[in-house]
Chain A
Amino acid sequence: DTEVTQTPKHLVMGMTNKKSLKCEQHMGHRAMYWYKQKAKKPPELMFVYSYEKLSINESVPSRFSPECPNSSLLNLHLHALQPEDSALYLCASSQDPLSFYGYTFGSGTRLTVV
């Protein structure tokens, strides 16, 4: 299995809702990442997990809450989002945080906040 699987592919949520994004990989990778991407812009780093520990939080608002229950799974819990949080959320993994082999990306979750 050489994929990073993200669910759901599309999500529409109201500003008072609570939802979660899920990311899963079975490649034995020990680093996982959340990125946010606006249309026609590069991805912006949100969080880095290295060996299941949060190693980078890019000053992301607390309405985004990451969780890494095990080495294969990464969640992003969403609560009280704003319309400007609408974006493509990309999950990625790599063998380790310093791997030459770069990232394997998932296909993303398109989030719309209404």
Chain B
Amino acid sequence: AQTVTQSQPEMSVQEAETVTLSCTYDTSESDYYLFWYKQPPSRQMILVIRQEAYKQQNATENRFSVNFQKAAKSFSLKISDSQLGDAAMYFCAYRYLTDRGSTLGRLYFGRGTQLTVWP
């Protein structure tokens, strides 16, 4: 099974400031997908950003960007200009590009980072 590690169980940030959430993963694959999901107290998991491992360029979605370091197997999420609505649990996830038997469709999640945003 793939291992996804989020070493920060909790993080906090002042409104309008920038915060970075870390994620590392273990894989022997050369191509794969990586995701960040956000789960606010309303409990719905929302896709924040995605990255294809074979693309070197870091993905960006508005205030959210990633720092993808393939050799280091690192996939950190940077949130700029933090807003109160960014407060949530953030999960990093890995997905195989091809079927490896019991991997079809599966997302491998990290344990999550709880982000608090202070006004």
Contact = CB atoms under 8 A, between A and B. Distances in A.
A103 interface: yes
A108 B44 contact: yes
Q: For chain A, which range describes its interface: under 10, 10 to 19, 20 to 34, or 35 or more residues?
A: 20 to 34
B68 to A, nearest CB: 14
Given A41-B111, A48-B105, A102 B50 contact: yes
Interface string B48-87: 0010100000000000000000000000000000000000
Contacts, number: 69
Nearest to B6: A42
Contacts of B102: 56
Nearest to A104: B47
A100 B105 contact: no
A107 B42 contact: yes
A105 B46 CA distance: 7
A98 B44 CA distance: 22
